[in-house]
């Protein structure tokens, strides 16, 4: 009887110890850290960060690298932290950007992985419906990459059973001709330029196109439509009308949207060499301009004279190759070259 009583006592003490330890672990507060950036990857300083359980606690704003961190135990009483049920709501806000709330989960007092938050400018992706955002999330470009996005063209008169297949061929051909153009123009990093087909319906509204582009951190957005027409003589031709939107903005250099709409392009099919010969010039040059704006923006943040010189070189080469019909493009190239020259003269 004495032995069993001792055993029972041992079990009781063990059970109490376990209960005390587990209560302590649940109450143990996590260390949370993370980074706030703009959609294009630029770190955002002075972002107001708040943490909410029952009450809201305000942290020091994010530093120049967009970093923030806190120890939940110093912010909340133990009781409130236990009530959190392993969830903390982080609230981020900065003037000019849409606020973001992010629920962070932690278990058994373990700190969660670093939190990465991207804020959208007020004119950015705020108006993209959540369902589309979800569908587009997988396409969002990582900082440093330079993707072009093709919104499926709507074609009429094409005997194609699968419009998606036609657009995929269009995408593959355009990617090839653009990369070829960039290599010929001697633009470094041209290998990194890729084109992706987005699962969206045709977008004709430029501001909407820009909204998608900003959300996706795109270099450029391409959208358009085409139609096969049969002439009275029976010959068929394909007219394609395209929009190329340069997404990166380097205020105040390019304040207004940079937009190129091509003319009707005579060709007989989506795979016509004539079509791609024309488009390679148009879109290749537009891509060089987009890369120029993007590189200029990055060089401004690092004050890199060598980068400005490199940009100037390939912009000059592109301008030299421009011909009739490229007036709008040349005008934008001139604006960019002037801005680069000003930076080089400083």
Partner 1 sequence: MEESTDPIKLLDLPGQVLDKVVEVLTKVGIDLPALILQLFLLVLVLLVLNITIRPLLPGWQNAKLLPLLGAGGLGLIAIGILFGIASQATLPDRLIGRVAGQELTGARVDLLDLRHEAISTGGAVDTDTGEFIVFYSPAWNGRARMLRISSPSCKAREQAIAPGRLARGSESTWEFPCEKP
Enumerate binding residues for partner 1 (CB under 8 A). 52-55, 83-85, 87, 89, 91, 98-103, 126, 129-131, 133
Give the start-end residues of each E strand in the chain: 31-38, 48-52, 56-58, 67-71, 87-93, 100-105, 115-119, 146-150, 154-156, 193-197, 220-230, 236-246, 258-261
By C-beta, is 101 or 271 nearer to partner 1? 101
- When the beta carbons of 119 and 339 are compared against partner 1, the nearer one is 119
Q: Nearest approach, Cβ of 121 to partner 1 (angstroms)?
A: 12
Least gap, CB of 212 to partner 1 (angstroms): 15
| Nearest distance in Å: CB 123, partner 1 | 14
Indicate the pairing of strand 258-261 with strand 236-246.
antiparallel
Nearer to partner 1, 99 or 257 (CB): 99
Phi first, then psi, for residue 187 (nearest 5°) are: -85, 120
Residue with tokens 């672990």: 25
Question: Smaller CB distance to partner 1: residue 101 or 235?
Answer: 101
> Rounded to whole angstroms, what are the CA distances from 298 to 209, 239, 251, 308?
23, 37, 12, 10
Taking the C-alpha atoms of residue 283 and residue 181, their distance in angstroms, rounded to an integer, is 9
Helix (H) or strand (E) holding 237, with range, is strand 236-246
Distance from C-alpha of 290 to C-alpha of 329, rounded to nearest angstrom: 11
* Cβ distance to partner 1 smaller for residue 54 or 110: 54
Closest separation between CB of residue 128 and partner 1, Å? Answer: 9
Q: Residue 92 CB, nearest distance to partner 1 (Å)?
A: 9
């Amino acid at each position: 009887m004495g032995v069993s009583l001792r055993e029972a006592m041992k079990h009781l003490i063990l059970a109490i110890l376990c209960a005390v330890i587990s209560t302590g672990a649940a109450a143990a507060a996590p260390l949370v850290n993370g980074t706030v950036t703009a959609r294009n990857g630029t770190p955002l300083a002075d972002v107001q960060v708040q943490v909410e359980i029952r009450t809201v606690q305000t942290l020091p704003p994010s530093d120049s690298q967009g970093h923030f961190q806190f120890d939940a135990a110093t912010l909340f009483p133990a009781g409130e932290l236990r009530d959190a049920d392993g969830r903390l709501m982080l609230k981020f806000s900065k003037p000019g950007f849409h606020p973001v709330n992010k629920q962070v989960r932690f278990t058994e007092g373990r700190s969660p992985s670093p939190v990465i938050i991207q804020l959208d400018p007020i004119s950015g992706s705020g108006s993209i419906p959540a369902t589309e955002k979800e569908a587009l999330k997988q396409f969002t470009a990582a900082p440093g990459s330079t993707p072009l996005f093709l919104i499926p063209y709507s074609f009429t008169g094409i005997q194609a059973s699968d419009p998606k297949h036609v657009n995929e061929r269009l995408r593959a051909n355009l990617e090839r001709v653009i990369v070829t153009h960039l290599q010929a123009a001697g633009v470094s990093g041209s290998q990194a330029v890729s084109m992706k087909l987005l699962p969206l319906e045709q977008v004709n509204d430029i501001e909407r196109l820009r909204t998608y582009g900003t959300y996706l951190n795109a270099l450029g957005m391409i959208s358009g439509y085409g139609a096969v027409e049969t002439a009275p003589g029976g010959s068929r031709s394909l007219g394609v009308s395209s929009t190329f939107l340069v997404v990166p903005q380097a205020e105040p250099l390019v304040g207004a949207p940079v937009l190129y709409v091509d003319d009707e392009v005579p060709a007989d099919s989506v795979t016509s060499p004539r079509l791609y010969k024309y488009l390679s010039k148009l879109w290749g040059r537009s891509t060089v301009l987009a890369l120029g704006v993007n590189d200029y923006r990055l060089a401004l943040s690092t004050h890199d004279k060598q980068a400005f010189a490199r940009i100037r070189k390939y912009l000059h080469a592109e301008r030299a190759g421009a011909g009739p019909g490229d007036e709008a493009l040349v005008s934008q190239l001139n604006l960019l070259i002037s801005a680069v020259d000003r930076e080089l003269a400083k």
